[in-house]
Amino acid sequence: MAIVKFDKRLTEEIAKRKEEIKVRKIVAIEHSQRVAVPKEGSKKEMIENLKERASKLQRPVAEKLVSMGVNQGKIKQQWISNALSAELTIEQIEKIAELDDVKIIRLEKPDKVTCLNGSVPLINAPQVWNMGYTGSGVNVAVLDTGIDRNHPALAGKVVDEFDTSGEGIGTPGNHGTHVAGIIASNDNTYRGVKAERFSISR
């Protein structure tokens, strides 16, 4: 069993449910090869080229899944990440991991996170900060409703704003402020992903 190809959450799930081997889990199966992005042609041609290359690489994995009893119509191919997703039993997951074409298998499990103190660590942002990538010097444009630039968590963060709607700059609703907080909140508990400054448009 190529358990080395399982992500941490999948390993934990299999350990919990080993006695229920027929229980099906949705997983993403990442191909061992990256798809080179074509550099010539129109945008449409490049996308079609990329899709074609990914499909060709993924074909042996998809065929193996079908041979194991997976409904072909239920296999989703992801051409940007060069991965496939399917609902598999633990036994099928272990078999597909043995293919050389498979780099890693990830458990596709929605996370119920409502606050930044839960979501920011979930995407491993603190580990990236510790590597020195803090967003310092990065400007981010937010195209959304207005942002409350006086919100304490966003003090000094909004450097410019302009109106693209013809309705004037304002803060109808809280969505723009919420998005800005995800990016750059200064709050000690609910800290953003950490871009240093950003501008907004509405």
Q: Please give the pLDDT value at position 175.
A: 85
**Final residue before a domain boundary, out of 107, 136, 167:** 107
The answer to whether residues 99 and 143 belong to one domain is no
Residue 133: which pLDDT band, with cuts at 50, 70 and 90? Answer: confident
Q: Please give the pLDDT value at position 128.
A: 84
**Final residue before a domain boundary, out of 77, 107, 137:** 107
Q: What integer is the mean pLDDT of 124-144?
A: 84
The answer to whether residues 61 and 124 belong to one domain is no
The answer to whether residues 157 and 76 belong to one domain is no
Whether this prediction's pTM lies above 0.85 is answered by: no
Over residues 156-191, the pLDDT tens digits come to 888 888 887 777 776 656 788 889 999 999 888 888
Task: Examine the pLDDT at 2 and tell me if it is beyond 70.
Answer: no
The answer to whether residues 144 and 84 belong to one domain is no
Over residues 116-129, the pLDDT tens digits come to 888 888 888 888 88
What is the chain written as a DSSP string? --GGGB-HHHHHHHHHHGGGTT-EEEEEEEESSPPPPP-SS-HHHHHHHHHHHHHHHHHHHHHHHHHTT--GGGPEEETTTTEEEEEEEHHHHHHHTTSTTEEEEEE-------SHHHHHHHTTHHHHHHTT---TT-EEEEESS---TT-GGGTTTEEEEE-SSSS-S---SSHHHHHHHHHH---SSS--S--SEEEEE-
Per the structure, the count of domains in the chain is 2
The answer to whether residues 66 and 90 belong to one domain is yes
Task: Examine the pLDDT at 25 and tell me if it is beyond 60.
Answer: yes
The answer to whether residues 8 and 95 belong to one domain is yes
Under a CB-based contact definition with an 8 Å cutoff, are residues 84 and 75 in contact? yes
The answer to whether residues 86 and 51 belong to one domain is yes
Task: Examine the pLDDT at 56 and tell me if it is beyond 90.
Answer: yes
Q: Please give the pLDDT value at position 103.
A: 92
**Final residue before a domain boundary, out of 83, 107, 131:** 107
Over residues 75-115, the pLDDT tens digits come to 999 888 899 999 998 889 989 999 999 999 988 876 666 78
Task: Examine the pLDDT at 10 and tell me if it is beyond 60.
Answer: yes
Task: Examine the pLDDT at 202 and tell me if it is beyond 70.
Answer: no
The answer to whether residues 27 and 87 belong to one domain is yes
The answer to whether residues 82 and 129 belong to one domain is no
Residue 55: which pLDDT band, with cuts at 50, 70 and 90? Answer: very high
Most confident of 1-15, 107-121, 128-142: 128-142
The answer to whether residues 87 and 158 belong to one domain is no
43 is in which domain, residue-wise? Answer: 3-107
The answer to whether residues 7 and 98 belong to one domain is yes
Residue 200: which pLDDT band, with cuts at 50, 70 and 90? Answer: low
Q: Please give the pLDDT value at position 112.
A: 67
> At 57, which CATH number?
3.30.70
